[in-house]
Chains A and B, each alone.
Chain A
Amino acid sequence: MADKFDVIVIGAGPGGYVAAIRAAQLGLKTACVEKWIGKEGKVVFGGTCLNVGCIPSKALLEASHKFVEAKHDFADMGIQAGDVSMDVKKMMARKDTIVKNLTGGIAGLFKANGVTGIEGTGKVVGAKQVEVTDQDGKATTYEADNIVIAAGSVPVEIPPTPLTEGLIVDSTGALEFQEVPKRLGVIGAGVIGLELGSVWSRLGSEVTVLEAMDSFLPMVDSAIAKETQKLLKKQGLDIKLGARVTGSEVKGQEVVVKYTDSDGEQEMTFDKLIVCVGRRPYTRGVVADGVGVGLDERGFIHVDDQCRTSVPGVYAIGDCVRGQMLAHKASEEGIMVADIIAGHKAEMNYDAIPCVIYTFPEVAWVGMTEQDAKAKGIEVKTGSFPFAASGRAMANNATEGQAKIIADAETDRILGMHIVGQHAGEMIAQGVIALEFGSSAEDLALTCYAHPTMSEAVHEAALAVEGHAIHMANRKKRK
């Protein structure tokens, strides 16, 4: 029998590695099991986010944005950059270096905190037993008083567009193109599709995004979603809503995609096709039959508000359970679970989890949309402020977008904040803090904001809730 632990975490993504570090900090003897094989053929920590998700996509978004700025915006500022070009292979190599540094960093953090990293595929085989199968197929069983399943998620595949080697790809493949595809098709106008579409569009691809739903970014406040759609269209993303993909045909180095829209059957030809219609929990084979950990019909592990499964001492967190599939959601659940195991009464606030789309401008939001609040029968008042009226935005050459605050009409409590604009992902932290503290719109209105900053738009939006914005003409409130 191998070592016995207080906690064994299965998976070293943002949920698992954070849970493991926290548990170790709280004095628990902790192990973390990971099977992900990195580019150098060795097991790497960090999961989807670090290896093929958040971090590599942001590295490409930043590089491609700087390229676009140099090509199209520098001249307006008097900068003569000459003929700017992009070395795609070098851009990719930089991304790979960042990934390597960060995954190595987690191994360092494990060591510093005394977390035992175990390489192999983990499986819960009993209420207190985890079996780990290594790369050679050798299985070892470990005992643990507590087990945290953080197995993550994988891209959803759809029957009309089966993946091929390098032609029809998922998000992982789209982060690995070694040259700019001339015509790029993207299936799915969600966060991942818009980000990957942006990267390659900026580098010269003609990008078409096919989205089956009729509404664009339905989880975002409709005023913000509408403006975002307009801005992305202006950048060259051809977003087709209500376009249902029905089939595809690979012809040599091209792929022909068939879809139906309101005008009937359509067909388009691409040099590359990215399928990003969603992600699904990766839970098959993670728990042995008979252990008693329940899955729902979509494959998510069934948990309560504090991530307890139906088996005492077994928890599940992150993308493999209900809730938003976001790295920071997984990490916070990891901390909550480690705290609970250590004897604390931990819980987390699912109402204040921010979301960010790293397009340019960025889209970020937290809490309710105006349409959500209305659907719940809550009477709201709103305030918004356009970056076109922001001095800092003008200086930054980033006047697109707006900030919007939704507050309860009766109590003035902030219910949601939605921003499209440069650095929206940074600014939304203000909305998260406001929600966490149960802040009123007046609280933000009475707060001193540095000038000139982009965040002043949040201040003005808070003032605008009562019709008292200083730097724009306030709309008369209809009664």
Chain B
Amino acid sequence: YGRIPASPAVRRLVREHGLSLEAIAGSGKQGRVLKEDVLRHLEQGGEAT
């Protein structure tokens, strides 16, 4: 509790790539970061934070 809501797969993807959830634009309900948002972020050369 307390962390930004995101699914387990999203949290894992973000962790493995050394990203931060705050840095990724979420397209889900109420700005939630979806797995596809993380993948797009990586495709577009998203920097590790």
A415 close to B1 (CB less than 8 A):
yes
A437 close to B5 (CB less than 8 A):
yes
Tell me the complex Cα distance, A443–B3, Å: 18
Q: Inside 8 A of A367's CB, which chain B residues have their CB?
A: 1
B16 at the interface (CB under 8 A from A): yes
Tell me the complex Cα distance, A331–B48, Å: 31
Chain B nearest Cβ from A26, distance in angstroms:
14
Q: Which residue of A lies closest to B10 (CB)?
A: A437
Tell me the complex Cα distance, A351–B12, Å: 16
Tell me the complex Cα distance, A344–B18, Å: 11
Tell me the complex Cα distance, A347–B16, Å: 10
Tell me the complex Cα distance, A6–B13, Å: 26
A345 close to B16 (CB less than 8 A):
yes
A349 close to B5 (CB less than 8 A):
no
A413 close to B16 (CB less than 8 A):
no
- Residues 335 to 365 of chain A near chain B (Cβ within 8 Å): 344-347, 349, 351
The verdict on A436 contacting B8 (CB below 8 Å), with A351-B1, A415-B1 known, is yes
B20 at the interface (CB under 8 A from A): no
A438 close to B16 (CB less than 8 A):
no
Q: Which residue of A lies closest to B18 (CB)?
A: A345
Tell me the complex Cα distance, A438–B3, Å: 9
B5 close to A438 (CB less than 8 A):
yes
Q: Inside 8 A of B29's CB, which chain A residues have their CB?
A: 443
Tell me the complex Cα distance, A443–B29, Å: 10
Tell me the complex Cα distance, A366–B47, Å: 36
Chain B nearest Cβ from A338, distance in angstroms:
15
Chain B nearest Cβ from A127, distance in angstroms:
27
Q: Which residue of A lies closest to B30 (CB)?
A: A440
Q: Inside 8 A of A345's CB, which chain B residues have their CB?
A: 15-16, 18
Q: Inside 8 A of B8's CB, which chain A residues have their CB?
A: 349, 436-437
B7 at the interface (CB under 8 A from A): yes
Q: Inside 8 A of A344's CB, which chain B residues have their CB?
A: 16
B15 close to A413 (CB less than 8 A):
no
Tell me the complex Cα distance, A439–B8, Å: 12
Q: Inside 8 A of B18's CB, which chain A residues have their CB?
A: 345
Interface 0/1 of B7-49, CB less than 8 Å to A: 1100010011010000000000100100000000000000000
Q: Which residue of A lies closest to B4 (CB)?
A: A438
Q: Inside 8 A of B7's CB, which chain A residues have their CB?
A: 436-438
Tell me the complex Cα distance, A444–B25, Å: 24
Tell me the complex Cα distance, A349–B7, Å: 11
Tell me the complex Cα distance, A368–B29, Å: 24
Tell me the complex Cα distance, A398–B3, Å: 38
Q: Inside 8 A of A349's CB, which chain B residues have their CB?
A: 8
Q: Inside 8 A of B32's CB, which chain A residues have their CB?
A: 438
Chain B nearest Cβ from A342, distance in angstroms:
12
Q: Inside 8 A of A415's CB, which chain B residues have their CB?
A: 1
Chain B nearest Cβ from A365, distance in angstroms:
15
Q: Inside 8 A of B15's CB, which chain A residues have their CB?
A: 345-347
Tell me the complex Cα distance, A368–B1, Å: 10
Tell me the complex Cα distance, A250–B18, Å: 63
Q: Inside 8 A of B5's CB, which chain A residues have their CB?
A: 413, 437-439
Q: Inside 8 A of B6's CB, which chain A residues have their CB?
A: 437-438
Tell me the complex Cα distance, A443–B30, Å: 12
Tell me the complex Cα distance, A346–B7, Å: 15
Chain B nearest Cβ from A210, distance in angstroms:
36
The winner among B1, B8, B32 for most chain A CB atoms within 10 A is B1
Tell me the complex Cα distance, A415–B5, Å: 12
Tell me the complex Cα distance, A349–B4, Å: 13
Tell me the complex Cα distance, A368–B4, Å: 18
Chain A nearest Cβ from B5, distance in angstroms:
2
Q: Which residue of B lies closest to A349 (CB)?
A: B8
Q: Inside 8 A of B4's CB, which chain A residues have their CB?
A: 438
Interface 0/1 of A192-208, CB less than 8 Å to B: 00000000000000000
18 sample A-B contacts, Cβ–Cβ < 8 Å, listed by A number:
A344-B16, A345-B15, A345-B16, A345-B18, A346-B15, A347-B15, A349-B8, A351-B1, A367-B1, A368-B1, A413-B5, A415-B1, A437-B6, A438-B3, A438-B4, A438-B6, A438-B32, A443-B29
Q: Which residues of B contact A (CB under 8 A)?
A: 1, 3-8, 12, 15-16, 18, 29, 32
Q: Which residues of A contact B (CB under 8 A)?
A: 344-347, 349, 351, 367-368, 413, 415, 436-439, 443
Counting from the closest, the 10 A-B pairs by CB-CB distance are A438-B5, A345-B15, A437-B7, A436-B8, A345-B16, A351-B1, A438-B6, A415-B1, A344-B16, A413-B5
Given contacts A346-B15, A413-B1, A438-B6, 15 further A-B contacts (CB under 8 A): A344-B16, A345-B15, A345-B16, A346-B12, A349-B8, A413-B5, A415-B1, A436-B8, A437-B5, A437-B7, A437-B8, A438-B4, A438-B5, A439-B5, A443-B29
